[in-house]
Amino acid sequence: MKIALIRQRFTAWGGAENTLGYLAQEFVRQGHEVTLLSASWQGELPSRWHQHLANGRLRWLKVPVWAGKSGRALSFAVNTRRLLRQADFEVIYSLERTLYQDVYRAGDGCHREWLARRRPYISILQRLGIALSPFHRLLLGLEKRLFQSEPLQLVIANSRQVKSEIERHYGMPSEKIRVIYNGIDRQRFSLEVVPARRSQLNQELGLSALVPTIVFVGSGFERKGLAFLIKALARLANARVLLLVVGSGHYDPYQRLARKLGVASKVRFLGPQPQVERFYAAAAVVALPTIYDPCSNVVLEALACGRPVVTTAANGAAEFITAGENGEILTRPDDVPALAAALTQFLDRREDHRIVEAAVNAVAGLSWERTAQETLAALTAVAAKTRSGSKNCC
């Protein structure tokens, strides 16, 4: 089967791009021809792709785009449609809000929901800026067009939360949305690798086994709730605790906040890291007090490493957390006292093996092989349906 995969920008550390990488690998392994339509690459290609690129089973088709956020989003949608109309694919699978696809994976969630979730945490001036922003208006327009498009055969959501958001905001029939959770790379994220990874990171960063560590992993610090976490850190009674921040973003405002609250010495900003499993291994607890997240891979990966996770009800991955057993689910990301209490609970229970067992068991059924198989089955059914009729994409 000839499959087109669409993602505007590929980065070596992105969650959606990580999903794309595993799916492409598994599709090719099962004998399908995969073409990736993307505007650009950032970072190195996944090592597993080189052989497939060499033998022609995997191709990259570069999509030309204009400058600026709005220009880039619009031109990518338009030019992707143009290129796809010139090609002959049996099924088109988009991980981006575009104009031409058979199946859409809502891995970025629902933009309308994100704006609504963000609204209470920004100023009136910022709200006005968003309301007038050509970029946000464009994304909302693309999203509405996508979800209300009759030719769209199927939406794949990565959590029940996202499925519910699409139904609520756009009235899409439930039967057109299928939940397929993200997978986990079991060679990287498992309890077996924890001792060696922890020892390695402790030596590299000079960490003490006597100082419990809170780990935050994520890019887009505002959305992921880093400011709330730093405020919670300042409320912890345990003076001997360290927060490791892994991910890309503007550090300055958060470093200033840490200095203002007197916890600058307890926070280390480490930038994006290719081997995040080392940081999970070193964590007493992983914290992600996100304002909105469709289904964070960080949560799934940390649980697979046996680590408790404190996150929010606005994170689709909270569907894998049982409060008090393998983590905690905050009603609001800005509930700093509740966040501090949850962190304290798991810092104090860091030797409790029942937490490790509950964390691992929660995600025991997840793997990229399963995710790819379920996705491929959905794509095969859609391809068979479109072959029986005419290609009627927008």
Burial 34-51 (b: 16+ CB within 10 A, else e): bbbbbbeeeeeebeebee
Task: Please give the helix or strand (H or E) that residue 329 lies within, else none.
Answer: strand 327-330
User: What is the model's pLDDT at position 238?
Assistant: 72
Q: For 119-163, what is each residue's pLDDT tens digit?
A: 999 999 999 999 999 999 999 999 999 999 888 999 999 999 999
User: What is the model's pLDDT at position 53?
Assistant: 59
∠ Cα 318 161 341 (to 5°):
30
Residue 239 scores a pLDDT above 90:
no
User: What is the model's pLDDT at position 48?
Assistant: 58
| CA atoms of 177 and 157, how far apart (whole Å) | 7
Q: For 258-296, what is each residue's pLDDT tens digit?
A: 999 999 999 999 999 989 999 999 999 999 999 999 999
Confidence band for 22, pLDDT divided at 50, 70 and 90: confident
Long-range contacts of 263-270 (CB under 8 A, 24+ apart): 263/230, 263/233, 263/234, 266/233, 266/241, 266/242, 267/230, 267/233, 267/242, 267/243, 268/205, 268/242, 268/243, 268/244, 269/245, 270/244, 270/245, 270/246
CA proximity to 282, closest of 247, 319, 250, 241: 241
Residue 390 scores a pLDDT above 60:
no
Structure tokens at 358: 């509950």
Domains in the chain, CATH or no CATH each: 2-183+367-388 (3.40.50.2000), 191-362 (3.40.50.2000)
User: What is the model's pLDDT at position 324?
Assistant: 96
pLDDT, mean of residues 95-122: 96
User: What is the model's pLDDT at position 388?
Assistant: 64
Q: For 60-90, what is each residue's pLDDT tens digit?
A: 899 999 999 999 999 999 999 999 999 999 9
pLDDT, mean of residues 172-186: 96
Residue 394 scores a pLDDT above 70:
no
DSSP 150: T
